[in-house]
């Protein structure tokens, strides 16, 4: 084409209308997402809960029909949740109240210990500031933890949705695959199946870890004589679901409660949480979690920060399984086709280059 020729791009009225329509639809979808993202997060939690219900029913189906094993598992699950709630909630409330009453005295001990080590008396101002800030933080943290626990185990809508998903997983799999084009159906089948296997392994491993950490924390804090051991053990079990941040957040009120006895007790409690976390990281993470969800720690930490800042504390509970699903989808839908195209391009280039003459 000659250099003097200028190619002009003209916009027709239909093109402008089409672009404006797309912009309006995008803005509408964006606004709608920000109004319902909590429901989306709870729906993803329902998927994880459905895995917990469906897996035992499928195992029992080896000996009894699934139509019998599934209602049996649902009844046992609901009954166990009700039993745990009836047995634990009064004790947890009592121990949380006791912990809140003893917390100011523990904070005064913290301030006195700091003044003794730094030899800089604060005249009570340091204790008041620490008491106000840490008490407020601990109160918010405990309320958030029990709100999340209620959302996971006490929300009727989430439980009903999980039961429906667990009852007929093949039905919802077929419904999902009907939404994709026939050309990409095979790839999306791989995404669904592989992501499902990873989520099942991760959820089961995490559930076992949560129970073990909760029991170990409860027993350890009782041996140290920490007030509210059952409440703190329950909090540790719930927050164990959150990698990286959960164990650290769970240790803060326990260490503060240790100061109600003595600074050395608080040090022992901190060492206990540290050793427990190291044992959990050395045993359960390599054997269970990394086999199911192999994500670099730095990437997971950055992802958790992004979701927490964007969508709040509830997003921490779905950060790891959601990233695992996205990792599988990106690998199968984008990376593997890109590698195949590059391989074909190299082959075609090699065929186009004539061989060198002999000699």
Q: What is the CA radius of gyration of the chain?
A: 27
Residue 309: the pLDDT is: 84
Residue 77: the pLDDT is: 86
Number of domains making up the chain = 1
- For 178, other C-beta atoms within 10 Å of its C-beta total 8
Q: Is residue 54 part of a domain?
A: yes
Average pLDDT score over the chain:
76
Q: Give the domain range for residue 150.
A: 39-337
Is 279 a residue whose pLDDT tops 60?
yes
Q: Is residue 348 part of a domain?
A: no
In the chain, the percentage of residues whose pLDDT exceeds 70 is 69
Residue 198: the pLDDT is: 84
**Looking at per-residue confidence, does 219 or 147 come out higher?**
219
**Looking at per-residue confidence, does 314 or 353 come out higher?**
314
Residue 155: the pLDDT is: 66
Q: Is residue 10 part of a domain?
A: no
What is the tens place of the pLDDT at every residue in 145-202?
A: 555 555 444 467 788 888 888 888 888 888 888 888 888 888 888 888 888 888 888 8
Indicate the range of 18-27, 74-83, 118-127, 303-312 predicted with least confidence.
118-127
Q: Is residue 353 part of a domain?
A: no
Is 58 a residue whose pLDDT tops 70?
yes
For residue 266, CA distances in Å to 85, 109, 248 come to 29, 11, 15
Region 315-328 average pLDDT: 84
For 280, residues 6+ apart whose C-beta sits below 8 A from its C-beta are: 209, 212, 213, 240, 247
For 163, residues 6+ apart whose C-beta sits below 8 A from its C-beta are: 50, 53, 74
Region 273-294 average pLDDT: 70
Quick one: pLDDT band at residue 92, thresholds 50, 70, 90? Answer: low
Q: Is residue 28 part of a domain?
A: no
For 209, residues 6+ apart whose C-beta sits below 8 A from its C-beta are: 240, 280, 284, 288, 289
For residue 320, CA distances in Å to 168, 277, 300 come to 25, 18, 7
In the chain, the percentage of residues whose pLDDT exceeds 90 is 1
**Looking at per-residue confidence, does 316 or 103 come out higher?**
316
Residue 278: the pLDDT is: 81
Q: Is residue 29 part of a domain?
A: no
Q: Is residue 113 part of a domain?
A: yes
Q: Is residue 190 part of a domain?
A: yes
């Amino acid at each position: 084409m000659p250099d003097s020729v200028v190619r002009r791009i003209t916009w027709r009225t239909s093109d402008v209308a089409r672009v404006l329509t797309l912009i309006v639809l995008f803005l509408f979808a964006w606004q709608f997402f920000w109004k319902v993202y909590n429901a989306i997060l709870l729906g993803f939690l329902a998927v994880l809960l459905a895995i917990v219900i469906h897996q035992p029913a499928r195992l029992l189906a080896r000996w009894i029909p699934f139509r019998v094993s599934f209602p049996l598992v649902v009844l046992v699950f609901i009954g166990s949740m009700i039993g745990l709630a009836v047995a634990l909630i009064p004790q947890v409330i009592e121990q949380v109240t006791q912990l809140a009453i003893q917390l100011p005295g523990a904070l005064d001990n913290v301030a006195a210990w700091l003044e003794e080590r730094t030899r800089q008396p604060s005249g009570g101002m340091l204790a008041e500031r620490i008491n106000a800030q840490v008490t407020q933080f601990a109160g918010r943290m405990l309320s958030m933890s029990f709100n999340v626990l209620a959302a996971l185990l006490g929300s009727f809508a989430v439980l009903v949705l999980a039961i429906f998903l667990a009852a007929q997983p093949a039905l919802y799999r077929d419904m999902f695959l009907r939404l994709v084009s026939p050309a990409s159906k095979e790839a999306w089948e791989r995404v669904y199946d592989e992501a499902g296997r990873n989520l099942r392994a991760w959820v089961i491993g995490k559930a076992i870890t949560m129970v073990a950490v909760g029991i170990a924390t409860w027993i350890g804090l009782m041996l140290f004589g920490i007030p509210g051991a059952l409440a703190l053990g329950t909090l540790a079990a719930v927050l164990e679901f959150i990698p990286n941040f959960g164990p650290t957040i769970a240790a803060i009120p326990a260490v503060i409660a240790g100061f109600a006895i003595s600074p050395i007790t608080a040090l022992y409690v901190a060492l206990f949480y540290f050793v427990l976390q190291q044992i959990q990281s050395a045993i359960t993470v390599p054997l269970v979690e990394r086999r199911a969800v192999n994500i670099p720690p730095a990437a997971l930490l950055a992802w958790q920060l992004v979701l927490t800042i964007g969508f709040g504390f509830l997003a921490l509970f779905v950060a790891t399984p959601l990233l695992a699903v996205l990792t599988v989808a990106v690998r199968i839908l984008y990376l593997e086709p890109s590698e195949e195209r590059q391989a074909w391009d190299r082959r075609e280039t090699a065929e186009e280059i004539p061989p060198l003459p002999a000699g």
